[in-house]
Structure 1
Amino acid sequence: MVDERHPGASAAPPHRAERVLVVFPGYHRSWASWLTQRLESYGCRATLQRWDPSRDQPLDEALGDLLLAPGRVLLVLSDWFFQLGPRREAEWNTVLRDFVPSRAERFAAVNLTNRTLLPATAVLEPADLWGVGEEEAERRLLARLDLTGARSPAPMAGPVSRYPNDPVAVWGDVPRRNRQFTGRDDLLNTIQQRLTDAAEGASVCALVGMSGIGKTQLAAEYAHRFSPDYDVVWWVNSDQRNTQRERFGELAVELDLTRSSEPGERIRVVRDALRRGEPYQRSLIIFDSWEESEEAAHFLPRGGTSHVLITSRNRSWGASTAVVEVAGFVRAESTAYLMRRAPHVSAEEAHQVAAEFQDVPLQMAQAAALLGESGMEAAEYLRMVRGGTSRPGDTAALSRYLIDYSESSLTSWSILINRLRKSEPHAVELLTLCSAFAPGSIPVGLARGLSTEDLPERLRWINSDLPAWTRAMETLVNYSVLSWDSRAGTKREAGPEEQSVHMHRLVHGIVGDLTQGDDREMYRQVVRSLLAEADPRRPEDSRTWPRYAELLPHLDPSGALSSTGTRVRTLLLNCLRYCYTGGEYQVGAELAERIREQWSESSGPDDPSMLVLTTHQGNILRASGRFREAYALDSARLERLRAVPGADEEALLTATSCLAADQRFLGQYAEALQLQREVVSTAEELFGPDESTTLLASHNLAGGLRLIGHYAEAYETDIQTLRRRETLLRARHPHTLSSANACARDLRLMGRYQEALARQELGVRRYVQVLGAQHTMTLWARHNLVLCERRAGAAKQDTGTVLASLLEQQEQANGRSHFSTLAVLTDYGNYLRQYGDVRQAKDLIAEAEDGYRRLLGQAHPVPTGMQTNVGLILQAEGLRDSALNMFEQALAGLRTLLGDDHPVTLGCALNAAGGRNFTGRLEEAAELSRDTLRRSRQVMGEDHPLTLSCQVALAADLRALRDGAEAGKLEEDALQRLARTLGAQHPHALSARQRVRPYWDFEPYLG
């Protein structure tokens, strides 16, 4: 076969079996791998040899060692290659001139740089591969090794490395390659081995170690060095949960997996795509600074061929994650790094500096930058750090770093700050400004967008003197105090206002303490101003969520939480609204509590801003399932407002509405309905029937009616609200979709299954189009659709598969113990029980019941009703006495909590009558069945499916008591009604015709 890249190439075998030793510095492993694979494809026997000879070994001796291998020695050259050791250029030139010429036939080279190489490298006649395509690079390689007459390349077995000059298909915000990166080759190879050798689906490696030990740099170097082995390389800053979710979810957009902007959906589709290996098989995902291992299950793509790399100080990552301990540099790495950055430093001096700083990479970087940039003599530098030059700032605060770092390290930072004060005062001002942000990614360029009024006079150069700004930024980067953020390249092209930098956590802490006296509050005020200015002011718009995720970490360090400024407080409230609409309930609840603590010091509980805060905080607590906390907050607010003569009516309206919502979730249905009627009446008086507040109040009123079992009245309220919202907001507005979903639910509960299904199918399509498939509201609508399909007997796909998928998605979006997840757990368990998988059904129902009891307590309709589902499990297992006991407990509890005529109580009574029948208590069964049928006819109507189930059950009980005449009349009437209302082939009708005892699944519903 002729290779298309080499048309006309001879099929003859090579003249000789060439042996080639490919010698490379670790920095160029990707090139060495490609060169080796290409040579092997042409029949050569190629061997990889990472070469990093000890500085103490003579260079000619080290080169001579390479010649011990048979065949040619192919050196992979760049300017980096000649810094191995490190060695002086004169030594390299001398050895290349003296040692290589007499052995020239054994040496060959390729050149990977456009920088000028040492003059003596001409003796190696390097083939220049810089900036050429793969085909041309291969041609030049073969020509240099005299292999141009070789046969066509054979296909390679196993994975093939991509040509290093070809970009990765998807490259996501990996920090720029650190050209000063030194050593760590063994560690990098260990990481690769751990990821490659892991069982499929378990390729997760955590780099753990103390702060400043170089974990992030190591992960970044791994991404660059081994990038040809991957099609996707994606970097996720994980020091904040919300930014981690946003960044990981952005990969879904990059891979064109979804158009949704909802983080939960994006995360799910990314994990699924990585697990399936679509659209790319080879992916590397790096989670940087991830400390919360409990969240791992929500992100890690278990299954497939993806590799995951984590950097963390937390060592508890579980048995399925390979943990690699990252220690400091070995001494040779420290000295090599220092001598490269500061060429005037001798080997012995480099050794002394490394010993002084205990080979900690972060401190070595700072020392090397200071020595290299300033040209200070190493002896003078060591004298100063050992002498403990006086430091500004809080000495007591700085002492906390002495647990892991030496006194000399802190003094070195002090020396740097003092030098910059004299030579680059603007750099110190910019550095102090950065320390008023949180560590990590800092959008410092936003400061240039501030107006002159928002900047103190001494900092007005920031937005007026671009050259000074640029010089200050470059100074701090050159001194290794800051680094450009992973997106900095793009942002720098967009302009200084978009520049973002990265500040290591440790550097941030030390610098902050060293600059404590530099008018810290002034800098924090500037940061507060720029954060407020950057507020998109549209927290419900998912397109603004990445910006809020970027701003959120900096609220606390900047002092925004305690600010009394209107703009800053508006920003805080908008951030809470973002947390609520974006599903970041945990982050939002913590933020709201910290805001409350701060605002309470300057504002009373009835201050307008505090009232708005209470609304947002209560919404977040309620949405996350913390109902009692929300109730305590809202009830205290309403009580205070009611005690104030002439209290603001709108504030009273909001407080009453929030408390009614809390009561609905807590099972106080009658009290909630009474309050909600007050809300609707007040809203109509204040705003009229068509205003959004009134329509929301009506929507919530229907929810309250539904909870007390008044389904028809709830439907009439919902349909009116839906019509008004369709007119005012149009059909695709989220509020309109919510009303449509409520109408479909009402119709299903009323037994009008086909109407409910038709409406819900349309509603789900619109939810997916407007909010995305994984938005929490869409998941709820899809759950309702499954129930509509089941009740209508019209499932279009395997219901079990759909429910299992919904369960996974709900867990991903809200967590396993969230009330919406528990609802899916329940319905999935009921389905599995019905179709024979009793063991799994039992586990799911037990988990859901326990979850509801923890969430709601004992005396609540939902955990009480869950007992009837437990009873159905026991009945399916043949434990009829135990099942009856559960049915009776559920019935007694629901009669107390909801009353005898509530539809949920009637459903439990249907099951209890069946339990009595199955245990031989026939008279009691018939008595309960007759009473239940009578009540159901009054409450639900004669043709409701629940009523007809009660009628079929009574017929079965009478038949067991030998009363065939009445049983026959009841059964025949029920069969006719079922055929007329549901259809003769509906599962309910077929079961009744086959005389299968009807039962009722409890469907948990909150709020």
Structure 2
Amino acid sequence: MDVVGDVRLPPRPQVPTRPVQLPPRPPRLLGRDEMVAELRARLAGGRSQPCVVAVHGLGGVGKTSLALEYAHRHLHDYQLVWQLPAADPAVLSAAFARLAALLGLRDTVDAADPVDQVHAALAARTEPWLLIFDNAPEADALRPFLPPAGPGHVLITSRSGSWPREQGLELPVLEPEPAVALVLARSGQDDAAAASAVVAELGALPLALEQAAAFMSETGLALGEYLDLLHDQRAGLLAQGQAWGYEERITTTWQLAFRNLAGTSRQAIALLRVLACYSHEAIPYHLLLSPLEGRTARELFAEDVQRQRAYGRLPGSRVRLVREFRPWMSAVAVLQELPRDPLAINTAVGALRGHSLIGQPVEGTVPVHRLVQAVTLDQLAPHEQQRWRDAAAVLLESVLPDDPTRVAAWPRYALLLPHILAALTPISPGMDKTAQYLGASGDYRTARSLFREICEALTAKLGAEHPSTLTARHELARWTGELGDAVAARRQYTELLPIRMGQLGAEHPITLTIRHELARWTGELGDAVAARRQYAELLPVSERVQGPEHPNTLTIRHELARWTGELGDAAAARDMYADLVPIRERVQGPDHPDTLAARANLAQWTGQAGDPAAARDQYAALLPIRERVQGPEHPSALINRHELARWTGELGEAEAARDQYAALLVVRERVSGPEHPDTLTIRHELARWTGELGDAAAARDQYAALLPLRERVQGRDHPDTLMARANLAQWTGQAGDPAAARDHYAALLPIRERVLGPQHPATLITRHELARWTGELGDAVSARDQYAELLIRREHASGADHPDTLTTRHNLAYWTGQAGDAAAARDQCAALLRVRERVLGPEHPDTLITWHNLAYWTGAAGDGVAAREQYAGLLAVRERVLGPEHPDTLTIRHELARWIGELGDPVAARDAYAALLPLRERVSGPEHPDTLTARANLAYWTGQAGDPVAARDQYAALLPIRERVLGPGHPATRTTRGQLAYWRERA
């Protein structure tokens, strides 16, 4: 059955009652009272949907100041007020991540998009909130980030005027009077005429006025003197052909500021230049300058050269090396100009703050307006700009952790991500490491995108078959596959293989690694036969070239065992892993990750081979070792917890499994983020075990909530997304809507055929379930015919003895019986039982299920005595193998009681059900469907035993429970209603 699982979410952590993130209130915002009032009027809308106002206008006109003034004036009207930087989608997503963490939705910075979580939290609030999206590029870019619901207000600032008429509010420049007042107040002077002239020259643009006044205040320059300089500088700019506009006037002001700083703080200028090379928001300047402390610039440069060499980015010839690195080596000089110690850094920051060239430092970070950055670099000649860009890249590369796959390194990568994207080129080692971080942390899509850029850049610089390019192509193929496109991954590895073979030879370790990956993705595409064959062919080559106990050789043995199991021979896979574990322990050590992985797979295939108790125990023994060696929150330790929960459930302890998944979900969300693929898998499993506990409707709803997350995070055609769709269909049917289940599977089948292929196991499972729900809708003949067709496909794809083929035979027998031929169903089950005993073993769970069905159809074919004897024999085996209170054991007791009654002893049947009911209530819960079925049968046989009054009362008590738990239209509820009417007539 195509089922995995999902969950009820645990309570969120306590959230601050009044979250606020706002820069300081603008000091004496002049001339904007009417606009603040207009904002208030525009935002005073209804509470069902957020009211949106987009303040737009010329850059520097004071849009952000207006928004802040409004927010501070009306701060107490909202229960949440938060400003978000909206110019760059990546930075905006990171800001949503911080807000999500504050709201208790996520506890670590992660590459996954938190926008939906914040939207949901805002929609759930009952008190007003205010979001400010600052410096948004335009309406289409911002639309995905706007909250769709909730009693809140959204205030946008943007230069773009392309906003809907009902949302847009254009902000003009200041009127002359408040503009003059602003200049006089900020500069501390009283020459109104000169101030009026400055306002006219600057076009009453608030940012230009503020900057000019700050410069005059810092330098003591008089208004008239400033005006003279302004005239001189403007003439020069106009001579270059620039029109009168925003950048022209601001550029003039900054040129004067640069000239003043040149005589007072050259380190401040140097700091500004290097900050201009990064993203404009929250630049971690203390972190980025930290490599300079205790090391010379030449030492830093030498380390960077080593990084370039390690990543194969250096040209081969010495002449080319010198030619390419001569301009880069000039970055050494600019690195020497930067402040190094904390006192010098803070002094330089203070000087820049004094000229309003940077924002307010916060916890070692500082924002720099993007126009300040642009003008700062524009003051330099092109070759000088490149020197500073190279210096910024060296500093950034120096603070990137070496191993981007370590969970502990992820917060720093998340902090630096916007600056990496702004400052590093695709061929830099840091960009390669960043792509690895994104993939390891679950953002497969961006990892693949970055590696595609890296491949293109390396191809252009070094050639398509340069070793560095081929390594990048290898990674591109890897993350293409992890994103769910196994077809493309296999194709890309297929293209790489002959190139590597031609360069390195057929038996070079890199070539063998590509063969390994090619085999893996062949298997992931559903061709387990080819995957096993490829690994079987690869193994002797690796043994000869690298040695029989080389770690790479052992990895091939590991994969050969896996695909042997995937082909249906779980016992052989188990035995192969049992042989591999002691070799891993001896060669690599008992605590090596590869050894622990082998132990985990041994547990997995032990369970698949029919021993869930041993699988659970092996995972339970492995967990403390992984927690000790790798850490309790390492991905491998969390996967171990996942499997421990799974096999606990397979043992019949569905409630314990659900609780374990619920606890694990909290950890996954904190460590990996709420939208990491592994986190979504835990939600999947939590939903499954919620359903297995009897709440099919809740399982259905949880899959319905999970599906859009899978689609957005992993893509609509990713195998995990299709699995979520399959489970939504499954639990929709289990919740009493077989028609919808059939339709879901019918819609899913062509997608799986297109994405995975018509013979992929998941595609065949979809056909299996489509046939099942066709039968559940009452068309047993069609179900039988579909299973007959599917059996041919199964035998062709997997072989006659594959467990999935045997499952299809099992279901064919069932629907043959349901179509009216109980004798044929009995005979098919008898034939299947012998095969399952031979292939799986006489006590494998699937073998015991076939025995169960044989007994059922024996009785249905008219031989009640034989049915009762078969159930009695099966009960003893079930009790010994699974335990007397396993749900499957209780099901056999249920059937045995039925046939006791059918054979003419209703009193004994009644007593057997009376004994069974408290067991069902204790094991599965009083409202589990199986418990309610036991109550229904107890009522039935009570009536058959001659007590219609008690039967009536028992059905009367059962009916409202089934109506509440299953729904009034569920088939079981309708049956209960009919039985109640029947026994009322006879009471």
Give the counterpart of 1:457 among 326, 333, 338: 333
Distance 1:874 1:975 in 2: 31
1:753 and 2:622 matched:
no
Q: Which residue pairs with 1:548 in the alignment? A: 413
1:913 and 2:813 matched:
yes
Distance 2:488 2:254 in 1: 48
For these two proteins, the number of residue pairs brought into alignment is: 797
Q: Which residue pairs with 1:642 in the alignment? A: 501
Distance 2:32 2:636 in 1: 45
1:792 and 2:652 matched:
yes
1:710 and 2:569 matched:
yes
- Is the 1:448–1:462 contact (alpha carbons within 8 Å) kept by the matching residues of 2? no
Distance 2:621 2:35 in 1: 56
Q: Kindly report the root-mean-square deviation, in angstroms, between the aligned alpha carbons of the 2 structures.
A: 5.2
Q: Which residue pairs with 1:701 in the alignment? A: 560
- Is the 2:616–2:644 contact (alpha carbons within 8 Å) kept by the matching residues of 1? no
Within 5 Å, give how 1:193-342 maps onto structure 2: 199=47, 207=54, 209=56, 217=65, 248-249=96-97, 325=169, 327-328=171-172, 331=175, 337-342=182-187
Q: Which residue pairs with 1:597 in the alignment? A: 456
- Is the 2:208–2:253 contact (alpha carbons within 8 Å) kept by the matching residues of 1? no
Query: What whole-Å deviation, never above 9, does each CA across 1:632-673 have from its counterpart, x for those lacking one?
Result: 222212221223354672212321222222212211212222
- Is the 1:917–1:925 contact (alpha carbons within 8 Å) kept by the matching residues of 2? yes
| More deviation, 830-839/707-716 | 830-839
Q: CA deviation at 1:585?
A: 1.6
- Is the 1:807–1:821 contact (alpha carbons within 8 Å) kept by the matching residues of 2? no
- Is the 1:242–1:584 contact (alpha carbons within 8 Å) kept by the matching residues of 2? no
Give the counterpart of 2:836 among 936, 955, 965: 936
Query: What whole-Å deviation, never above 9, does each CA across 1:773-828 have from its counterpart, x for those lacking one?
Result: 89698479648835751562543357135786688578658447443344345345
Q: Which residue pairs with 2:777 in the alignment? A: 877
1:572 and 2:442 matched:
no
Q: Which residue pairs with 1:864 in the alignment? A: 764
Residues 792 and 410 of structure 1, relative CA distance in 2, 3 Å threshold: same
Distance 2:201 2:824 in 1: 88
Query: What whole-Å deviation, never above 9, does each CA across 1:476-497 have from its counterpart, x for those lacking one?
Result: 444444324xxx2332xxxxxx
Three-state SS of the structure 1 residue aligned to 2:382 is: coil
Structure 2, unmatched stretches of 5+, are 1-15, 302-330, 659-688, 692-697, 900-987
Q: CA deviation at 1:837?
A: 5.2
Distance 1:542 1:761 in 2: 24
- Is the 1:708–1:902 contact (alpha carbons within 8 Å) kept by the matching residues of 2? yes
Identity of aligned residues (%): 24
Q: CA deviation at 1:443?
A: 3.7
Query: What whole-Å deviation, never above 9, does each CA across 1:413-466 have from its counterpart, x for those lacking one?
Result: 442354345443446654443333234333445246343224433552214698
Q: CA deviation at 1:369?
A: 5.0
Give the counterpart of 1:408 among 231, 234, 245: 245
Three-state SS of the structure 2 residue aligned to 1:407 is: coil
Q: CA deviation at 1:246?
A: 5.6
Three-state SS of the structure 1 residue aligned to 2:367 is: strand
- Is the 1:941–1:947 contact (alpha carbons within 8 Å) kept by the matching residues of 2? yes
What TM-score do you get using the length of structure 1 for normalisation? 0.65
Q: Which residue pairs with 2:389 in the alignment? A: 524
Within 5 Å, give how 1:1-150 maps onto structure 2: none
Distance 1:465 1:695 in 2: 51
Distance 1:733 1:270 in 2: 40
- Is the 2:699–2:731 contact (alpha carbons within 8 Å) kept by the matching residues of 1? no
Q: CA deviation at 1:268?
A: 9.8
Q: Which residue pairs with 1:15 in the alignment? A: none
Q: CA deviation at 1:534?
A: 1.1
Distance 2:194 2:181 in 1: 12
Query: What whole-Å deviation, never above 9, does each CA across 1:821-845 have from its counterpart, x for those lacking one?
Result: 4434534543453353547756765
Distance 2:882 2:790 in 1: 29
Residues 422 and 308 of structure 1, relative CA distance in 2, 3 Å threshold: closer
> In structure 2, what residue type is equivalent to 1:412?
R
Structure 1, unmatched stretches of 5+, are 1-167, 400-405, 492-499, 563-567, 998-1007
Distance 2:227 2:822 in 1: 100
| More deviation, 879-888/285-294 | 285-294
Q: Which residue pairs with 1:536 in the alignment? A: 401
Distance 1:356 1:845 in 2: 70
> In structure 1, what residue type is equivalent to 2:494?
S
Residues 230 and 954 of structure 1, relative CA distance in 2, 3 Å threshold: same
Q: CA deviation at 1:574?
A: 1.9
Distance 1:198 1:174 in 2: 25
> In structure 1, what residue type is equivalent to 2:645?
L
Q: Which residue pairs with 2:915 in the alignment? A: none
- Is the 2:444–2:483 contact (alpha carbons within 8 Å) kept by the matching residues of 1? yes
Distance 1:317 1:742 in 2: 56
Q: CA deviation at 1:187?
A: 6.3
Q: CA deviation at 1:595?
A: 0.8
Distance 1:669 1:874 in 2: 29
Three-state SS of the structure 2 residue aligned to 1:583 is: coil
Give the counterpart of 2:473 among 607, 614, 621: 614
Distance 1:379 1:419 in 2: 12
Q: Which residue pairs with 1:435 in the alignment? A: 276
- Is the 1:335–1:347 contact (alpha carbons within 8 Å) kept by the matching residues of 2? yes
Three-state SS of the structure 1 residue aligned to 2:338 is: helix
Give the counterpart of 1:655 among 488, 504, 514: 514
Residues 276 and 417 of structure 1, relative CA distance in 2, 3 Å threshold: closer
Distance 2:566 2:809 in 1: 18
Give the counterpart of 2:801 among 891, 901, 914: 901
- Is the 2:55–2:155 contact (alpha carbons within 8 Å) kept by the matching residues of 1? no
Distance 1:742 1:297 in 2: 46
Residues 658 and 181 of structure 1, relative CA distance in 2, 3 Å threshold: farther
- Is the 1:209–1:326 contact (alpha carbons within 8 Å) kept by the matching residues of 2? yes
> In structure 2, what residue type is equivalent to 1:489?
V
Q: CA deviation at 1:583?
A: 1.0
Within 5 Å, give how 1:496-507 maps onto structure 2: 500-507=365-372
Distance 2:163 2:805 in 1: 47
Q: CA deviation at 1:597?
A: 0.8
Residues 903 and 363 of structure 1, relative CA distance in 2, 3 Å threshold: farther
Distance 1:728 1:265 in 2: 42
* Structure with more contact order per residue of length (Cα contacts < 8 Å, sep ≥ 6): 2
Residues 235 and 727 of structure 1, relative CA distance in 2, 3 Å threshold: farther
What TM-score do you get using the length of structure 2 for normalisation? 0.67
Distance 1:387 1:610 in 2: 50
1:419 and 2:266 matched:
no
Q: Which residue pairs with 1:978 in the alignment? A: 878
Residues 472 and 706 of structure 1, relative CA distance in 2, 3 Å threshold: same
> In structure 2, what residue type is equivalent to 1:341?
R
Q: Which residue pairs with 2:526 in the alignment? A: 667
- Is the 1:576–1:617 contact (alpha carbons within 8 Å) kept by the matching residues of 2? no
Distance 1:924 1:318 in 2: 69
Distance 1:204 1:732 in 2: 58
Q: CA deviation at 1:596?
A: 0.7
| More deviation, 538-547/740-749 | 740-749
Give the counterpart of 2:362 among 489, 498, 510: 489
- Is the 1:740–1:763 contact (alpha carbons within 8 Å) kept by the matching residues of 2? yes
Within 5 Å, give how 1:379-394 maps onto structure 2: 389-390=237-238
Three-state SS of the structure 2 residue aligned to 1:941 is: coil
Residues 375 and 829 of structure 1, relative CA distance in 2, 3 Å threshold: farther
| More deviation, 913-922/804-813 | 804-813
Distance 1:421 1:561 in 2: 32
